[in-house]
Amino acid sequence: MHRSALILAILACLAVRSHAVSWTVTSQPARLLNGAPVLFQVKPPIKLSSLTGTLLGHEFAFTYNTATKTWFALAGVSIETAPGKYSLELSGENLSSKAPVKFTRSCLVTAAPYPQIKVSLSVEKKFTEPNPQQEAEIAEAKKVKDDYLNRVTPDREWNGNFTPPVDAETSDVFGSRRIFNGVAQSPHYGLDYRVHTGTPVAAMNQGTVLLARFLYYEGNFVVIDHGQGLLTLYLHLSELKVKEGDYVKRGQEIGLSGASGRATGPHLDVRVRWQKTYLDPARLVQLALPQ
């Protein structure tokens, strides 16, 4: 290689390194937890026209915040993710040159301290040993959930913080293991609130009602699509106050709590789902999110 070409190569390498160092990537929480949502905020060294991220096989789009001049995105880590280091890959487009821009940052995932509580419960036999007709109802409900819950709408609808759907104490937490009629179940993917039948249930953030119907296990069931694969689910309602396709605001009443479906008594089971992954609702409401 000629001396001039070597100098140019060295300068280009230094420029790339300098360019990479000037990226600022922060997360909330600072340490990623399995089963928890995470807010990423990125300040690139140049102006971008778009930015996407990839983590643990999930791709998500960032939104630009003009007030802070940062890009932000809400993502999540499944409860099945083993502790360790994983790569957050960022891809954008230079606003002026339209050239692709890439940056990779290592993220540490640690195990969240979910309590291993085994709760002995008894439910109706139709939920543990369904007859052929009930099995058909279960299969039909599964088709509905496989269709609706795996949809990803491209635009973000949530705005600002997520808020609790009711003002009440919790009776069971995300990640706990339950026992129905002596049979151990998978981890609880929801957050249960101790409320009486008929308690008003509010939307945790703004979005579009994706589902509002009765399903075998969930009972009267409302799902709100907050965009980009983020859903909030409200189970075992005694009454629905919205219909599919309705746009709702944060705090708007969407139903009344109850004990419909597979429930051992009146309560509200709330779940958060992001791109086929269930996340801890309690940790979502703790995040300080941009508007």
Answer yes or no: CATH 3.30.70.600 is held by domain 3-110: no
CA dist., res. 122 & res. 99, Å (int): 60
pLDDT tens digit sequence for 222-265: 999 999 999 999 999 999 999 999 999 999 999 999 999 988 89
Q: Which of 10-19, 155-164, 168-177, 203-212 has the lowest mean pLDDT?
A: 10-19
- CATH topology match: 3-110 vs 118-286: no
Concatenate the DSSP letters of all residues of 82-142 into one string. Answer: PSEEEEEEEEEEETTT--EEEEEEEEEEE-------EEEE---HHHHS--HHHHHHHHHHH
Structure tokens at 111: 């195990």
The pLDDT assigned to 215 comes to 96
Q: Do residues 248 and 206 make contact, with C-beta atoms less than 8 angstroms apart?
A: yes
pLDDT beyond 50 at 92: yes
Q: Report the mean per-residue pLDDT for the chain.
A: 89
For the chain, the helix, strand and coil percentages under 3-state DSSP, each to the nearest 5:
15, 45, 40
- Does pTM top 0.85 for this prediction? yes
Superfamily of domain 118-286: Glucose Permease (Domain IIA) (2.70.70.10)
Count Cα atoms within 13 angstroms, Cβ side, for 185.
19
pLDDT beyond 50 at 33: yes
- CA 180 to chain centroid, in Å, comes to 27
34 CB-near residues (< 8 Å, 6+ apart): 77, 78, 79, 80, 81, 82, 83, 109, 110, 111, 112
Average pLDDT over residues 41-51: 96
- Domain spans, the chain: 3-110, 118-286
Residue 5 phi/psi, 5-degree rounding, is: -65, -35
